[in-house]
Amino acid sequence: MPGINPDDVRAVLFDMDGTLVASDGAVERSWLSWAAEYGVDGHEAYEMAHGAPSESTVRKLLPHLEEAAILIASARQLELQYDDLSDVTATPGAFEALAVLAERRLPWAVVTSADTRLAKARLGAAGIVAPVLVTTDDIAAGKPDPEGYLRAAEILGADPAECLVVEDAEVGLRAARAAGAHTAALRGLDGDVRLESLADLAKFLGR
């Protein structure tokens, strides 16, 4: 892959939803239900929310609300997600990629736009234990701000320039680039490495 030698990758930072965890159904259901309650377009809300913290999406959708009402609406959106785990699984190739990281002794972290409760619930449903987890509870600004990725790199003791961020949303790729990291992109998005699934990541890092 141009611009990246897999041997130069010192840490891997994963987004969660849509990257390590297949949760599209649960995310969509929660936004459709929430949108119906608040009188906004559910599909627009779902598309806008992809990869971004719930609160920032709520602010864009309901700009007329006062701060207290925004916080209530954001909390309600998260409530709808916490217990909807019936079809949440690991994404294709996820365990294969994590096995390669273990073989190479590469540290890794999850950096997500979910809060800690939701992140632990979804990772648990997928059977994934993250050695380092950075959520919206740990930072002041969510994606596309680079704070989450910079924080994860710091915890892992890695230079952001030697980190590979794996993302499935443009807002997350923007955060990764702002952090100075290399990018691996899913869903046909443009990154330093383009992935069909995490099986491609396993091949890239394991070769």
Catalytic positions, please?
A: 15, 17
Distance (Å, whole) CA 117 – CA 19:
18
Please tell me the distance from the alpha carbon of residue 64 to that of residue 109, in angstroms, as a whole number. 37
Residues in the chain, total: 207
User: Nearest 5°: phi and psi at 110?
Assistant: -115, 130
Q: Are strands 21-22 and 108-111 parallel, antiparallel or unpaired?
A: unpaired
Torsion angle of the four alpha carbons 166, 171, 4, 6, in this order, in degrees rounded to the nearest 10: -10
Measured over the CA atoms of residue 187, residue 191, residue 194 and residue 199, the dihedral's sign is negative
Rounded Cα distance between 188 and 111, Å, is 20
